[in-house]
Homo-oligomer: A and B are copies of this chain.
């Protein structure tokens, strides 16, 4: 396995394949060729074969990939065999939206705490039962609850300092929603969500340079 060569674009595509395979599995489909998978979900069959080849030999020539088995393998590759505990830093609108986002739990991520510095919010419980905890208790809460990842939903001006505190607390993986570039420490990873990029994809479409509807 050439793990060090796996780009974020590849893992992103693996996540997409995983969703497609889950849909097929739930429909009762047992095997599928890269060609059918590509046609059904608007993907690229050569890319599918190339991506999966990184991780070993899947599928049988002329028959296709075993849907459930491949689903399990990709899930395993992505480290999704067990539930991941996640926290949110910042209890504003975005933080609270993340705390109750329905998509996380269905994919194996459980939001177990929101960290805040506002005394008015600390000690309260969000409507789906997530506690709002003082940012001062970050380190001990992370340790006690086994939190592995943090989603940063603080204003841009506070994001860098908050990321340092998160690393100090022993968290190695950050999803950053603040519109500011934060540099990871060695051995850690920061993935930034730039919501404008998705709008730019739509802008490209509206500018008339793209056709089709996918």
Contacts and interface: CB of A to CB of B under 8 A. Distances in A.
Interface of A: 1, 3-4, 6-9, 11-12, 14-16, 18-19, 44, 77-80, 84, 86, 92-94, 96-98, 100-104, 106-109, 148-149, 153, 155-156, 172-175, 179, 184-189, 191, 193-207, 209-214
The prevalent SS among residues of A at the interface is mixed
A104 B204 contact: no
Given A3-B209, A93-B96, A102-B179, 20 more contacts: A6-B209, A6-B210, A7-B44, A8-B201, A12-B201, A15-B196, A84-B203, A93-B93, A94-B101, A103-B194, A103-B196, A104-B196, A149-B203, A149-B206, A175-B195, A175-B198, A184-B213, A187-B213, A189-B202, A189-B205
Total copies of this chain within the assembly: 2
B79 A204 contact: yes
Contact of A188 (B107, B197, B199, B213): B213
B93 A206 contact: no
A192 to B, nearest CB: 9
A205 B108 CA distance: 15
A124 to B, nearest CB: 14
Given A189-B205, A209-B1, A197 B15 contact: yes
A156 B191 CA distance: 25
B205 A201 contact: no
A169 to B, nearest CB: 15
Contacts of A19: 194
A112 to B, nearest CB: 14
